[in-house]
Amino acid sequence: MSPYGLDAEREIESIYNAGLSIEELNLLPSPKYAYPLFIPLRTDELPYNYVVPVQWVAMDARQLLGRVRVDHSVASRMRGRDPIQLRSQLRVASPTRVLGVLNGADKLLEGFWGMPRRQFFRELASAGVNLCTGPTFSVVREGYTEDVGVPAAHNITMVRRHHMVATEMGSSGIPCAPNLYWRDDRNRAQWVEWLGVNRHVNVVSRDFSRTKDPSAFRPHLDGLAEILDRIGRKLHVILIGVGPRNSRYALETLASVGATCSLVTAHPIVVALSGGRRLRLNPSGDLNTDVSLTSSRLSLVGTNIRTFESYLASIAQPLLPYCENSLVHAVAVTS
**Which pLDDT does position 13 carry in this prediction?**
63
Domain of 297?
A: 5-332
Q: pTM, whole model, 2 decimals? A: 0.89
**Which pLDDT does position 5 carry in this prediction?**
55
**Which pLDDT does position 174 carry in this prediction?**
95
Q: What is the pLDDT of residues 79-113, one digit of tens each?
A: 999 999 999 999 999 999 999 999 888 889 989 99
In angstroms, rounded to a whole number, what is the distance separating the alpha carbons of residues 167 and 175?
Answer: 9
Q: In terms of residues, how long is the chain?
A: 335
CATH number at residue 274: 3.20.20
More confident of the two residues 164 and 283: 164
Q: Which residues pair with 99 in a beta bridge?
A: 58, 131
**Which pLDDT does position 292 carry in this prediction?**
85
By C-alpha distance, which of 41, 39, 107 is closest to 74? 107
Half-sphere exposure of 55 (CA within 13 A, CB side): 13
Q: What is the pLDDT of residues 219-232, one digit of tens each?
A: 999 999 999 999 98
Q: Which residues pair with 331 in a beta bridge?
A: 35
**Which pLDDT does position 106 carry in this prediction?**
86
CA dihedral 253→255→261→264, nearest 10 degrees, is 30
Asked if pLDDT for residue 326 goes beyond 60, the answer is no
Share the mean pLDDT of the chain: 88
Q: What is the pLDDT of residues 264-304, one digit of tens each?
A: 999 999 999 998 999 998 888 788 889 987 889 999 999 99
Confidence class for position 10, pLDDT limits 50, 70, 90: low
Confidence class for position 72, pLDDT limits 50, 70, 90: confident
**Which pLDDT does position 212 carry in this prediction?**
85
**Which pLDDT does position 284 carry in this prediction?**
80
**Which pLDDT does position 66 carry in this prediction?**
83
The Cβ of residue 323 has, within 10 Å, a number of other Cβ atoms equal to 13
**Domain count along the chain:** 1
Q: What is the pLDDT of residues 172-201, one digit of tens each?
A: 999 999 999 887 888 899 999 999 999 999
